Structure 1
Amino acid sequence: MRRMVIIILAICFIITGCMNKGKTITLTQIKDSFEKNGVSMSEVPDLHPESVFSKAYNDVTPRRFVIDENQKISIYVYTSSKEVRKGIKDFENKTAAADLTPHTIYQIANVLIFYVTDESFKDVRVDLAIEELLSLTK
């Protein structure tokens, strides 16, 4: 009986240790990563308020930034990666019939980023900043 209790406790410890509680990223970490990779972002809260990239999804309103006149970024910081998935689903449901501006969607832990730019203006430094943020979650 005692041996069985020890085995059950050991299994509980193993399961608890293997559970991924999920790392989170802050807006400050995001800004720092972009800055470190040479991407200067200026926050513009009222940038195109009717744009689908300015709307709240899953009850989170984005912080809007411009890199230059051809590149805009919307950053949604959720409480968890599960909430991000709900935000993406909400975005998809609300924009299913829309003709959207070219954009790239990034999900990093608890963060959803819309990088709004035409392919010809895409900045590789943004990808480097995203890769750095992804490395923070490993």
Structure 2
Amino acid sequence: MKVKQVSVFLENKSGRLARVTQVLGNNNINIRALSIADTTDFGILRLIVNDPDKAFTVLKEDGFTVSVTEVLAVEVRDEPGGLSNILEVLKQAGINIEYLYAFLQKASNAALVVFRVEQIDEAIIALQEKNVNILAGDEVYRL
């Protein structure tokens, strides 16, 4: 149920994001989803890729500061209120969301949203109890 997310610390300099994508492309690693949070001096690039372990290794070898964290890829009904329903389940379970971002493609007729939560195992249980589909890492990497 958990998905590996690769996070890359980027200096806020021209060409750094281009270099990340070049390294990934040269190593046949496909980006499935991404998010960038930035400040004036640096940014954190969060990636879901088809091969997170290899991405970690090649980016580290190229001199980037890289980490891997576990996130959830949750199917959200692609209709008004779909995301609100998921957020309500997590709120009722007392699960704090650190951040979330949308996935670039769909696994079915639902949208995919990536969630980073404080209590990942408890979030999985709460969502499953409400019949929310959480994709496994292997499913996400193959999309």
Q: Which structure's residues are more often strand, by fraction?
A: 2
Asked if TM exceeds 0.5, the reply is: no
TM-score, scaled to structure 1:
0.33
Larger Rg: 1
